[in-house]
Amino acid sequence: MTESIVHSDPRTTAPQVAQLQGAPDWRVIDFISDLHLQPTEPQTVQAWRNYLQRSTADAIFMLGDLFEVWVGDDALDEAGSFEAECAGLLREAAQKRPLFFMVGNRDFLAGNEFLRRSGMTGLTEPTVLHWAGPNILLSHGDALCLGDVEYQQFRALSRSAAWQQQLLAQPLAVRRAIGKSARSESEQRKQSGAPYADADAQMTTTWMQTAQAPWLIHGHTHQPADHALGKDQWRIVLSDWHIDASTHRAEVLRVTPEGWLRIAPEQA
Ligand SMILES: [Mn+2]
């Protein structure tokens, strides 16, 4: 048997959309993404911890890049690791209301063991949420940024099982070092002023039509905005979180059947 590789145009190819049925009593649901949690940014971690403990939402969705880097679920077994600490916080929060997690381009190696330990439900990319309000398509957003050609090539490679197995076969310390160097490369690229790609308009339309969802919520671009796409159709972009001595950026997207608002985590 021969296998042929079909290079279909991602802008017009209907994606496989996973379905999620919300609970009938959900009235308030929160969305966050791109917190880029890391031990060297304790104030962002603290704001997230406080938010998880206090939020009045019926469900919380974390749509990727929750962590600056995730080098493998075995990091959870390292005594006193940052990963284990975060999983513990999530587990506590998950006892109060359901938590959902979708990976981003930084934490795509977060796997089933992480989900199990943190008490969260994993979501595949993209997923459409059915609930009391309009259908909402959920994505991290990186797959839609077709303009970032170099990244799309890395994405295709790094989501393959073979690539992941090869990386995960390295000792944890080696993977931590790889994670660090990948991060500094991406920092350099950011500082070089290379423009950020945004979601491709045609691909966005294809995805929303396939999902039959009038709303799309995604992160990744760090360009929070409400984009009107047509009659009652919206692309709603989440904010990243970054809190240190000089910056205070953190936002929760709170959604009710009537609409949405952007609130500070301490008001959630
Ligand atoms: Mn991202």
Give the integer Cα–Cα distance in Å for 118 and 107: 15
* For the chain, domain boundaries: 24-199+212-267
User: How remote is the CA of residue 6 from the centroid of ligand 1, in Å?
Assistant: 27
User: How remote is the CA of residue 26 from the centroid of ligand 1, in Å?
Assistant: 27
Give the integer Cα–Cα distance in Å for 63 and 262: 16
Asked if the model's pLDDT at residue 159 lies above 90, the reply is yes
Residues 56 and 268 sit within 8 Å (Cβ to Cβ): yes
CB atoms within 10 A of CB 23: 13
User: How remote is the CA of residue 142 from the centroid of ligand 1, in Å?
Assistant: 6
User: How remote is the CA of residue 218 from the centroid of ligand 1, in Å?
Assistant: 10
pLDDT confidence band for 4 (50 / 70 / 90): low
Beta bridge partners of 138: 127, 217
- Provide the pLDDT for residue 252: 98
User: How remote is the CA of residue 141 from the centroid of ligand 1, in Å?
Assistant: 7
User: How remote is the CA of residue 199 from the centroid of ligand 1, in Å?
Assistant: 12
SS (H, E, C) the chain: CCCCCCCCCCCCCCCCCEEEECCCCCCCEEEECCCCECCCCHHHHHHHHHHHHHCCCCEEEEECCCECCCCCHHHHHCCCCHHHHHHHHHHHHHCCCCEEEECCCCCCCCCHHHHHHHCCEECCCCEEEECCCCCEEEECCHHHCCCCHHHHHHHHHHCCHHHHHHHHCCCHHHHHHHHHHHHHHHHHHHHCCCCCCCCCHHHHHHHHHHHCCCEEEECCCCCCEEEEEECCEEEEECCCCEECCCCEECCEEEEECCEEEEECHHHC
Distances (CA, A) of 117 to 30, 120, 169, 190, 256: 21, 8, 21, 33, 29
pLDDT confidence band for 192 (50 / 70 / 90): confident
Give the integer Cα–Cα distance in Å for 125 and 213: 14
Asked if the model's pLDDT at residue 2 lies above 60, the reply is no
User: How remote is the CA of residue 248 from the centroid of ligand 1, in Å?
Assistant: 19
Residue 32, Cβ density class (10 Å: 0-12 exposed, 13-18 middle, ≥19 buried): buried
Q: Is the pLDDT higher at 79 or at 217?
A: 217
User: How remote is the CA of residue 32 from the centroid of ligand 1, in Å?
Assistant: 12
Give the pair of three-digit tokens for residue 68. 């600056």
User: How remote is the CA of residue 262 from the centroid of ligand 1, in Å?
Assistant: 20
Q: Is the pLDDT higher at 192 or at 112?
A: 112
Q: How large is the C-alpha radius of gyration of the chain?
A: 18
Per-residue pLDDT of 51-96, as tens digits, reads: 999 999 999 999 999 999 999 999 999 999 999 999 999 999 999 9
- Provide the pLDDT for residue 8: 86
User: How remote is the CA of residue 263 from the centroid of ligand 1, in Å?
Assistant: 21
User: How remote is the CA of residue 12 from the centroid of ligand 1, in Å?
Assistant: 23
Nearest CA to 260 among 226, 231, 229?
Answer: 226
Tokens 């905005």 map to which residue?
A: 225
**CATH dotted code for 24-199+212-267:** 3.60.21.10
- Mean predicted lDDT score pLDDT of the chain: 94
User: How remote is the CA of residue 24 from the centroid of ligand 1, in Å?
Assistant: 31
CA 120 to chain centre: 13
Q: What is the mean pLDDT of residues 185-208?
A: 86
User: How remote is the CA of residue 56 from the centroid of ligand 1, in Å?
Assistant: 26
Q: What is the mean pLDDT of residues 126-154?
A: 96
User: How remote is the CA of residue 37 from the centroid of ligand 1, in Å?
Assistant: 12
User: How remote is the CA of residue 176 from the centroid of ligand 1, in Å?
Assistant: 19
Per-residue pLDDT of 257-268, as tens digits, reads: 999 999 999 999
User: How remote is the CA of residue 60 from the centroid of ligand 1, in Å?
Assistant: 18
Give the integer Cα–Cα distance in Å for 213 and 155: 25
- Provide the pLDDT for residue 135: 97
User: How remote is the CA of residue 154 from the centroid of ligand 1, in Å?
Assistant: 13
User: How remote is the CA of residue 4 from the centroid of ligand 1, in Å?
Assistant: 31
- Provide the pLDDT for residue 172: 96
